[in-house]
């Protein structure tokens, strides 16, 4: 039995379905994150983000701005 979970994106508050038991059908499938990106997202948000937010944060400028704000500068 596949495990699916309704979640709320901690960044934009949008609802989405996490399909951790069927990752090839999950909304995040195919989005690859660098080690640095993954570490920042885990530290900042602590849970899954929606596809829209993940794609936005893949843009270097957006990630840079979030890191800058997160570090309080």
Residue 73: which pLDDT band, with cuts at 50, 70 and 90? low
- Domain total in the chain: 1
Q: What average pLDDT score do residues 38-63 get?
A: 89
Q: What average pLDDT score do residues 30-53 get?
A: 91
**pLDDT at residue number 20:** 83
Report how far residue 2's alpha carbon sits from residue 68's, in angstroms, rounded to the nearest whole number: 38
**pLDDT at residue number 67:** 78
Range of the domain at 60: 5-70
Largest Cα–Cα distance of the chain, in whole Å?
Answer: 46
Residue 31: which pLDDT band, with cuts at 50, 70 and 90? very high
Q: What average pLDDT score do residues 17-25 get?
A: 87
């Amino acid at each position: 039995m596949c495990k699916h979970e309704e979640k709320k994106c901690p960044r934009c508050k949008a609802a989405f379905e996490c399909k951790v038991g069927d990752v090839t059908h999950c909304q995040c499938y195919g989005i690859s994150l660098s080690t640095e990106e993954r570490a920042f997202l885990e530290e900042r948000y602590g849970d899954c983000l929606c596809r829209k937010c993940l794609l936005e944060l893949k843009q270097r400028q957006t990630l840079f701005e979030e890191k800058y704000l997160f570090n309080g500068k």
